[in-house]
């Protein structure tokens, strides 16, 4: 599959996970399951969403998910995430997974997607997201 032409040729956002693809994550032909990659991205997006929301989050939607290039057993998969938008209770996160060839050091994008998470309270009901500027203000006030 062709990568989204609007995507940068370099990883964007912050690293939210890095792991090695293992034989148990592969199909009989040695390629890594799409579902495993999707779960890496979902986890990575949840890391960023939870850091911003500062509460539990759940995935409500995977709007896009493109598999750009196959992943092999032994590849180290790194997920990058950045916020696309923040609503009242939801956060839309842009996610890309890249693998780096350990022999050449060259990286290539393997998946790209956009997932939405909802901040929830202890009862599982949506709750308003703390805005990053509120978080910054919080940390300033707690530091003084």
Ligand X SMILES: CC(C)(COP(=O)(O)OP(=O)(O)OC[C@H]1O[C@@H](n2cnc3c(N)ncnc32)[C@H](O)[C@@H]1OP(=O)(O)O)[C@@H](O)C(=O)NCCC(=O)NCCS
- Indicate which single residue of 82, 126, 130, 135 sits in contact with ligand X (rule: CB under 6 A): 126
- Indicate which single residue of 39, 61, 64, 139 sits in contact with ligand X (rule: CB under 6 A): 61
CB-based burial, 93-108: b 16+ in 10 Å, e otherwise: bbbbbbbbeeeeeeee
Least gap, CB of 84 to ligand X (angstroms): 12
Q: Per CB under 6 A, which of residues 29..58 are in contact with ligand X?
A: 58
- Cα angle 127, 131, 136; round to 5: 130
What CA dihedral angle connects 20, 13, 43 and 105, to 10 degrees? -10
What number of chain residues touch ligand X (CB under 6 A)?
Answer: 13
In whole angstroms, what is the distance from residue 95 CA to residue 13 CA? 8
Query: If binding is defined by CB under 6 A, does position 127 make contact with ligand X?
Result: no
What is the rounded radius of gyration, in angstroms, for the C-alpha atoms of the chain? 17
Query: If binding is defined by CB under 6 A, does position 87 make contact with ligand X?
Result: yes
Query: If binding is defined by CB under 6 A, does position 88 make contact with ligand X?
Result: yes
What residues line the site for ligand X (CB under 6 A)?
58-61, 87-90, 116, 118, 120, 124, 126
């Amino acid at each position: 599959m062709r990568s989204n032409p609007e995507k940068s040729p370099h990883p964007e956002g912050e690293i939210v996970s890095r792991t090695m693809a293992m034989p148990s994550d592969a199909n009989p032909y040695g390629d890594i399951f799409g579902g495993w990659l999707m779960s890496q991205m979902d986890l990575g997006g949840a890391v960023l969403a939870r850091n911003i929301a500062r509460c539990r989050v759940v995935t409500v939607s995977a709007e896009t998910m493109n598999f750009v290039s196959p992943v092999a057993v032994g590849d180290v998969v790194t997920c990058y995430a950045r916020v696309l938008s923040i609503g009242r209770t939801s956060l839309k996160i842009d996610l890309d997974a890249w693998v780096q060839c350990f022999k050449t050091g060259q990286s290539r994008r393997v998946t790209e997607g956009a997932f939405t998470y909802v901040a929830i309270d202890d009862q599982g009901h949506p709750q308003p997201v703390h805005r990053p500027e509120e978080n910054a203000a919080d940390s300033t006030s707690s530091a003084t």
